[in-house]
Amino acid sequence: SQKIEQNSEALNIQEGKTATLTCNYTNYSPAYLQWYRQDPGRGPVFLLLIRENEKEKRKERLKVTFDTTLKQSLFHITASQPADSATYLCALGHSSNTGKLIFGQGTTLQVKP
Amino acid sequence: DAGVIQSPRHEVTEMGQEVTLRCKPISGHDYLFWYRQTMMRGLELLIYFNNNVPIDDSGMPEDRFSAKMPNASFSTLKIQPSEPRDSAVYFCASSLGQGGGQETQYFGPGTRLLVL
């Protein structure tokens, strides 16, 4: 069955450092992958989308990589700030144009000042 | 734009009662999704609509759950009868469509449901 794995343990880093979050998947061939941010008590908010034919995407301090051979995406936040503390979800989209996403469990990031 | 609107924000009910959750998607969005989020299972897709038509309801846990979308600006998720294990946060999301970045989903604030 399809499976998406994100680090279940919280990631604690110091302000200014680079945070790296991992998303691994099995038994799936996504056409694209998205990363969302979720703050406590709120709905997820879209951050970045990367397609299967793209290796890397950047947006300000965010960078996403996508390796379809390793079946893995890495999400980087450079120069992290306490305001970056949140739960980050990866989501896989299929190529059949269904609009359907499958979400990982999310990784909680805590950036300490 | 007001974003995706959900009501109620919080609902506390007793086991056996009917619960109706409501969602207004972003105007012009063709897709509407209902999700359930719990600590144990994460964010799960229950059902989604395209142009008001249900496309995939394979995530609906059982017959006690039903969803409708009578028009492009309104959808409901109904649980009848409700059970304590239905306690969760229910999110509605909408998106424009497919391709060209339209796959981005915009989530509502969620309805926190507690069934006693």
Residue B100's pLDDT band (boundaries 50, 70, 90)?
low
Look up residue B68 and give its two tokens. Answer: 């409708």
C-alpha distances (whole Å) from B1 to each of B4, B30, B52, B106, B110 are 9, 16, 21, 12, 18
What's the alpha-carbon Rg for chain B, to the nearest Å? 14
* pLDDT the model gives residue A100: 83
What's the confidence (pLDDT) of residue B14?
97
Nearest chain B residue (CA) to A106: B42
Mean pLDDT of B24-35: 95
State mean pLDDT over B87-109. Answer: 88
Q: Regarding predicted confidence, which is higher, B51 or A8? A: B51
Pairs across A and B, CB distance < 8 A: 57
pLDDT, tens digit, 9 for 90 and up, residues A76-109: 999 999 999 999 999 998 766 567 889 999 999 9
3-state SS, A40-56, equals: CCCCCEEEEEEECCCCE
Q: How far is B95 from chain A (nearest CA, A)?
A: 8
Give the model's pLDDT for residue A29: 85
DSSP letter assigned to residue B14: -
pLDDT tier, A31 (very low <50, low <70, confident <90, very high otherwise): confident
Which pLDDT score, from 0 to 100, does residue B99 have? 65
Answer whether residue A7 shows pLDDT above 90.
no
Confidence of residue B103 (pLDDT cuts 50, 70, 90): confident
Q: Do A42 and B42 touch (CB under 8 A)?
A: no
Write out residues 35-64 of B within 8 Å (CB-CB) of A.
35, 42-45, 48, 50, 55-56
Q: Across residues A36-45, what is the average pLDDT? A: 97
Residue B95 is predicted with a pLDDT of 92
Q: Rounded to 5 degrees, what angle do the CA atoms B71, B44, B115 make?
A: 85
Q: Cβ distance B110 to B5 under 8 Å?
A: no
Which pLDDT score, from 0 to 100, does residue A97 have?
Answer: 58
Q: Which residues of B29-65 are buried (b: 16+ CB within 10 A; e: fewer)?
A: bbbbbbbbbeeeebbebbbbbbeeebebeebbeeeeb
Residue A93 has its nearest CB partner, among B55, B103, B109, at B103
Percent of chain B whose pLDDT exceeds 90: 85
| A contacts of B106 (beta carbons < 8 Å) | 46
Model confidence band, residue B101 (pLDDT cutoffs 50, 70, 90): low
Q: Please check the confidence at residue B10 and state whether its pLDDT lies above 90.
A: yes
Residue A17 has pLDDT above 70, yes or no: yes
Average pLDDT over residues B75-89: 97
CA gap B64, A56 in Å, rounded: 43
